[in-house]
Amino acid sequence: MPAFGSFALLVALALSAYNLLAGGVALRQLATGSRGAIAPDRLAETARRAGIASFFAVSCAAFALVWAAFTNDFRLVYILDHSNRALPWEYKFAALWSGQEGSLLLWAWLLAGYGLVLRLRHKVDVKLTAYASTILAGIQVFFLLLVNVAATPFSLVQGAVPPDGNGLNPLLQYPEMVIHPPMLYLGYVGFSVPFAFALGALMMRYPGEKWIHITRRWTMVTWLFLTVGIFLGMHWAYNVLGWGGYWGWDPVENASLMPWLTGTAFLHSVMMQEKRGMMKSWNVWLIFSTFLLSILGTLLTRSGLVSSVHAFAQSSIGTWFWVFLVIVLAVCVFTYILNRDHLKTEHKLESLVSRESSFAFNNLVLLLACFTILWGTLFPILSEFVQGNKVTVSAPFYNRVAVPVGVFLLFLTGIGPLLAWRSTSMRSVRKNFVFPSIAALVVAIAVIPLGVHPWTIFTTDHEGGFYAWVTFALAAFVLTAIFAEFFRGARVIQKHTRQSLLGSVVQLTRRNTRRYGGYIVHLGVVLIFIGFSGQAFNRSVEETMSYKQTMNIGPYQIECMDYSQDTNLNYDSTYAILNVFRDGHQVTQLDPAIRFFQASQQPSTIVANHSTLLWDLYVVYAGTDPQTGQPVIKAFLNPLVAWIWIGLLVTIFGTGVALLPNLSAALAAQRSRVPAQREPVAAGRAGD
């Protein structure tokens, strides 16, 4: 199987190289009108087929590696280092992406998969797809070179083959780790497709905005994968690492957030190009930046340039990524300089109080957030270069610098949909802003007696309380604005069709899925922000606990019932049995544990969590006190965390709605017996 895998990777490299070269030659001939021995159309077709075939070759290599994991083939260094006989089958499957070489193979495989779909759908626009396919082949060649030369997953053990492997990193032996990395990679790799289309469209001076229509769904699906990947990572960190939080501003986390921010900016600003022919250069550079940031993030975290808790991903392939990054940047700059006259804007902003203007500010803030995170991630390197010593840039820096930017973004999320394209009259501003403003004011006052005090910004070193107060008020503003949009539109439909309000909301959404799906995504984002703001009120207690001892945190009393042990082939576990009481009544039993993995000889904590909509009671078995030998239990009371995961579900639903095709106006009119021209248009007016 190792020989089969290696051979499959070589074949995939040859096919991708052919796709790149033949595709490049064919496109050059088509552009200049010259002819070679083979007609350019036929040459381009052979390149496309080679690209399709490369997917099957990479699939064979991926299959060979997974097969090796399942059959405990410890002749392979990669399997020896990342698996063992007692490892459950789902984690053996996850071994494909649990190390450097495997994750690069996964990257190449997903890229080939995206390429397969793109090449099979080439009839959407044959020439543009040929350009995109050739550019994707270029990226594919880079990753296949890596797995063939620099980080091959099929290298063999020298000397005698050990009877068992070293096992998978204990931190990765958690259900979410089976789906978190593929989701994240689907996001990273997926941005290659809109990048390839954008670069291709610029190279061929593609007329009109059709390339944006073609790539819109690609971009949204990719964005959704990246979003889900990031949140699954947060959920894993929360439930496995045992420090009571979900986001530690680690460079690897930052690396995933940066392309997400520019991708989000692109999804918004691209509407300006579609509707008004504006921001063409900006959009092209946004999608270029998104792809470049995906590569830069990978470079930062795998080259060891910056320290990270994700140390298992580091190696010496940084030089390869540097070279690739420089080549991609050079190609982007060169293509842009040659064709920038093609990207002249058709309109300019006419008013500060307009939808366009809100998009401009939204983009500015998203990019600033991205820059702040990049700045914080790179500052240790800059500091070492200038001062001669590294500094740490961790949570206190980002909480102080990035949180205000996030709150400002929430504010823009609220006001953007209330503004009309081109210009919004003051009458319209007054009409649309009055209810959201009242809601914000009411909530701002109502939360003060509940302990959310804005004056903490003046009295303590922690601004968390102040930002939570602002977030709650802004959340009320945005939620009211969103519900008002749905209500206004649904009422008009209801008036004419006599449907229920809910039925009218459904029909309204189906008539313009992109616009109302977008609002649902905004709703999800607001819920996520509400969940984040709870962090300002986290509490924790750490105590040694023996039999029948109790610990109090918030309204809960935790009583230690017992400590027990368990063992299986993979790990030994010690766990505490804790009864949780509230107002004298038992609400649940929690079993936080420590697992000691046999193969890797490493311990890992398993958190026990009692989650409600109001707060999470999060309990960690933190080991034993070195002086007394007593078990140490650490309990956290984390308010509103559940809303983060609910917000994610709403965001997924909203993106799904936005991906649906619109119910045609004619069909809607037929169904509802309403003339098409009576479709309601609320504040935003322009159907996005």
Partner 1 sequence: MSRVSRFALLPLLAVLCALTLGTADTQARFNDLGHKLMCMCGCNQILLECDHIGCPDAGREMQELRAAIGQGQSDTAIMEAFQAEYGPTVLAAPWLSRFNIVAWVVPPALLLLGLFGTFFLVRKWRLRAASMPEIPDDPASRDLRERIRRETQL
Reference 479, options 421, 542, 435, 430; nearest CA is 435
Angle at 653 between CA 647 and CA 655, to 5 degrees: 100
Cβ neighbours of 86 (radius 10 Å): 16
Among 390, 491, 582, 610, binds partner 1 (CB under 8 A): 390
Which range binds partner 1 by CB under 8 A, 75-83, 322-330, 366-374, 501-509?
Answer: 366-374
Cβ neighbours of 436 (radius 10 Å): 22
Interface with partner 1 (CB under 8 A), residue total 66
Cβ neighbours of 141 (radius 10 Å): 22
- Give yes or no for residue 361 binding partner 1 (CB under 8 A): yes
- Give yes or no for residue 687 binding partner 1 (CB under 8 A): yes
Nearer to partner 1, 134 or 605 (CB): 605
Separation of CA 461 from chain center: 31
CB 315 within 8 A of CB 301: no
Residues 556-595: x where in contact with partner 1 by CB under 8 A, - otherwise, as a string: --------------------------------------x-
d(CA 377, CA 373): 6
- From the CB of 352, what's the least distance to partner 1, in Å? 5
Q: DSSP code of 204? A: T
Residues 468-507: x where in contact with partner 1 by CB under 8 A, - otherwise, as a string: ----------------------------------------
Q: Give 3-state DSSP helix, strand, coil % of the chain, rounded to 5.
A: 65, 10, 25
Question: Which residue shows structure tokens 């939570």?
Answer: 468
Task: List the helix and strand counts (H, then E) for the chain.
Answer: 21, 10
Both structure tokens of 483 = 């519900």
- Give yes or no for residue 462 binding partner 1 (CB under 8 A): yes
Nearer to partner 1, 116 or 128 (CB): 128
Separation of CA 657 from chain center: 18
Nearer to partner 1, 422 or 582 (CB): 422
Nearer to partner 1, 232 or 271 (CB): 271
In a 3-state reduction of DSSP, which class is residue 310?
coil
Residue burial 441-475, b: 16+ Cβ < 10 Å; e: rest: eebbeebeeeebbbebbeeeeebbbbbbbbbbbbb
- Give yes or no for residue 343 binding partner 1 (CB under 8 A): no
- Give yes or no for residue 429 binding partner 1 (CB under 8 A): no
Tell me which H or E stretch contains 374. helix 355-387
Nearer to partner 1, 351 or 588 (CB): 351
Tell me which H or E stretch contains 594. strand 593-597
- Give yes or no for residue 3 binding partner 1 (CB under 8 A): no
- From the CB of 109, what's the least distance to partner 1, in Å? 30
Among 53, 64, 360, 530, binds partner 1 (CB under 8 A): 360
Q: Cβ contacts of residue 44 below 8 Å, gap of 6+?
A: 22, 23, 26, 27, 30, 130
CB 171 within 8 A of CB 241: yes
Among 160, 337, 386, 613, binds partner 1 (CB under 8 A): 386
- Give yes or no for residue 4 binding partner 1 (CB under 8 A): no
Residues 513-542: x where in contact with partner 1 by CB under 8 A, - otherwise, as a string: -x----------------------------
Residues 124-153: x where in contact with partner 1 by CB under 8 A, - otherwise, as a string: ------------------------------
Can you say whether the dihedral through the CA atoms of 72, 73, 74, 78 is positive or negative? Answer: negative
Nearer to partner 1, 392 or 564 (CB): 392
In a 3-state reduction of DSSP, which class is residue 608?
strand
Tell me the residue length of the chain: 688
Nearer to partner 1, 34 or 392 (CB): 392
- From the CB of 688, what's the least distance to partner 1, in Å? 9
- From the CB of 387, what's the least distance to partner 1, in Å? 5
Nearer to partner 1, 28 or 539 (CB): 539
Residues 205-264 that bind partner 1 (CB under 8 A): 213, 241-245, 248, 250
Among 134, 512, 651, 672, binds partner 1 (CB under 8 A): 512
- Give yes or no for residue 412 binding partner 1 (CB under 8 A): no
Reference 140, options 11, 312, 313; nearest CA is 11
Both structure tokens of 237 = 């960190």
CB 635 within 8 A of CB 558: yes
- From the CB of 406, what's the least distance to partner 1, in Å? 12
- Give yes or no for residue 628 binding partner 1 (CB under 8 A): no
d(CA 428, CA 407): 25
In a 3-state reduction of DSSP, which class is residue 312?
helix
- Give yes or no for residue 665 binding partner 1 (CB under 8 A): yes
Q: Cβ contacts of residue 503 below 8 Å, gap of 6+?
A: 494, 497
- From the CB of 595, what's the least distance to partner 1, in Å? 10
d(CA 97, CA 101): 8
Nearer to partner 1, 158 or 677 (CB): 677
d(CA 412, CA 393): 28
- From the CB of 245, what's the least distance to partner 1, in Å? 7
Nearer to partner 1, 559 or 688 (CB): 688
CB 632 within 8 A of CB 512: no
Residues 283-322: x where in contact with partner 1 by CB under 8 A, - otherwise, as a string: ------------------------xxx-------------
Which range binds partner 1 by CB under 8 A, 1-9, 122-130, 388-396, 646-654?
Answer: 388-396
- Give yes or no for residue 375 binding partner 1 (CB under 8 A): yes
Among 6, 605, 638, 672, binds partner 1 (CB under 8 A): 605
Q: Residue numbers of the site for partner 1 (CB under 8 A)?
A: 213, 241-245, 248, 250, 274-275, 307-309, 348-352, 357, 360-361, 364-365, 367-368, 371-372, 375-376, 379, 383, 386-387, 389-397, 400-402, 405, 461-462, 512, 514, 594, 603, 605, 620, 622-623, 626, 662, 665, 676-677, 679, 681, 685-687
